[in-house]
Amino acid sequence: MKKKFGLFATTVALAAIVAGCGSEESDTSSKSSNEVEVTAEERIIQDQLGRDVTITGDLERVVTGGILPYFSTWYVATNSTKEIVGMHPNSYNAAENSILADISPDVLKADTSFIQNGEVNVEELMKIQPQLYFEISTDEKSIEKLTEAGISTVAVKAIDAAAAEPLATFNSWLELTGDITGTTDRVDKFLAEGEAVQAELDTALANISDEDKPRALLLYQHSDGSIVVGGSNFFGNQWFNATGAIDVAADDVKGRKEVNMEQIYAWNPDIIYITNFTETQPEDLLENKVEGQDWSQVKAVKDGNVHKIPLGIYRWFPPSGDAPLMLKWMAQKNHPELFDYDMVNEIQTYYKNFYEYDVTEEQADKILHPSSDAAKQ
């Protein structure tokens, strides 16, 4: 039976969920706003910019744009991707290389042709008849264009820059989606797990001094001689805070920034994490394969402490349903003396409990060692 989302109440309490995007600052605490009367055909929700968005009928045709990870949030909240009829090509590339393609293959039916030259083409978008469109809150141009075209558009903020830990953003996305779809029981289950894992890490790390924490660097993008790293007000910084590491770039970089090798040498990190937004793999640094860059002088490379961030139902670097797994994985990399997780078993157990899916050892290994293809555009 095809799932339908939307007609779950005659009255809904709207949540003013606020998160931050990139270097935005905001408060992600969920606050109940005034109740709005709705009919069986139409209701109003409030997006993360505080805008009223009208939803008409059962939600069967959803499109996700520049808020790249959001399609996976929809799956986490609803246990379905049938409703996602369109998504950004960069999102599709991640989906195609993720285990979500095995768990919910409907995700690969999504159209991507409405994004042209990096922007939304409204005429092409209208052809797939979206009932609801999700866009990153900083893309004011697209939001205005879509709204003027009569397309119900939900603005979603990509990062809570004010939060010290990374779960705040994803939690706000889940709560927003639960308000839209009525799948609040499923949302609550994920929220509780994330809080439990973070509490477990906090207890174990409580007596670790800053001197005993590894100095970590996030390599966000790396191509054509360009080195882009993350700093404060970015997910890498929040993951480091949550898992007992010191962000070497926090004082010098806000958000993300291109730097040179001299800056890398000055920071001299103990550990380097590479995202799935670049094709670079650990061996490229460890074997000093990058033309024009000598990474062999960096402590993390000398010690063999360079890691590619995993990719499960989505890239683990931004918010995803796998956030509790990301916390465990990174905490163990930062403090192997404190944490002894069997990550293959952790993945298998988590996916069985939360996605009702049996992950093979081969699939778990693919999650932990993702291909460079996921970064190709």
What digits encode the pLDDT tens for the residues 205-241? 999 999 999 999 999 999 888 999 999 999 999 999 9
Is the separation of the CB atoms in 319 and 325 below 8 Å? no
Is the separation of the CB atoms in 42 and 56 below 8 Å? yes
Least confident of 244-253, 338-347, 367-376: 367-376
pLDDT above 80 for 3: no
Contacts of 248 (CB under 8 A, 6+ apart): 215, 216, 217, 267, 268, 269
DSSP letters for 292-342: T--GGGSHHHHTT-EEEPPBSSSBSSSS-TTHHHHHHHHHHHH-TTT----
Residue 298 phi/psi, 5-degree rounding, is -85, 135
Average pLDDT (76-93) is 95
Q: What is the CATH number of domain 210-372?
A: 3.40.50.1980
pLDDT above 50 for 172: yes
pLDDT above 50 for 18: no
Name the token pair of 298: 């960096």
pLDDT at 31: 37
Q: What is the DSSP letter of 117?
A: T
For every residue of 168-199, which 3-state class applies, written as one string?
HHHHHHHHHHHHHHCCHHHHHHHHHHHHHHHH
Residue 270 phi/psi, 5-degree rounding, is -80, -25
pLDDT above 60 for 36: no
pLDDT at 254: 94
* Whole-number Å distance between alpha carbons of 188 and 183: 9
Average pLDDT (147-154) is 96
pLDDT at 125: 97
* Whole-number Å distance between alpha carbons of 370 and 366: 5
pLDDT band at residue 164 under the 50/70/90 scheme: low
pLDDT band at residue 27 under the 50/70/90 scheme: very low
pLDDT band at residue 324 under the 50/70/90 scheme: very high
Average pLDDT (190-204) is 95
What digits encode the pLDDT tens for the residues 141-150? 999 999 999 9
pLDDT band at residue 186 under the 50/70/90 scheme: confident
Contacts of 306 (CB under 8 A, 6+ apart): 271, 272, 274, 282, 285, 286, 300
pLDDT at 5: 60
pLDDT band at residue 375 under the 50/70/90 scheme: confident
pLDDT above 70 for 6: no
* Whole-number Å distance between alpha carbons of 350 and 329: 13
Torsion angle of the four alpha carbons 83, 89, 92, 94, in this order, in degrees rounded to the nearest 10 = -140
Model confidence, pTM: 0.85
Among candidate residues 30, 69, 36, 65, the one with its CA nearest the CA of residue 48 = 30
pLDDT above 50 for 368: yes
pLDDT above 90 for 303: yes
Is the separation of the CB atoms in 246 and 214 below 8 Å? yes
Q: Which CATH superfamily is domain 11-183 in?
A: Nitrogenase molybdenum iron protein domain (3.40.50.1980)
Above pLDDT 90, what percent of the chain? 79
Q: What are the sequence ranges of the domains in the chain? A: 11-183, 210-372
Q: Which residues face 55 on adjacent strands?
A: 43
pLDDT at 376: 72
pLDDT above 90 for 344: yes
User: Cβ–Cβ contacts within 10 Å for residue 264, how many?
Assistant: 24
pLDDT band at residue 350 under the 50/70/90 scheme: very high
Q: Which residues face 12 on adjacent strands?
A: 36
Topology alike, domains 11-183 and 210-372: yes
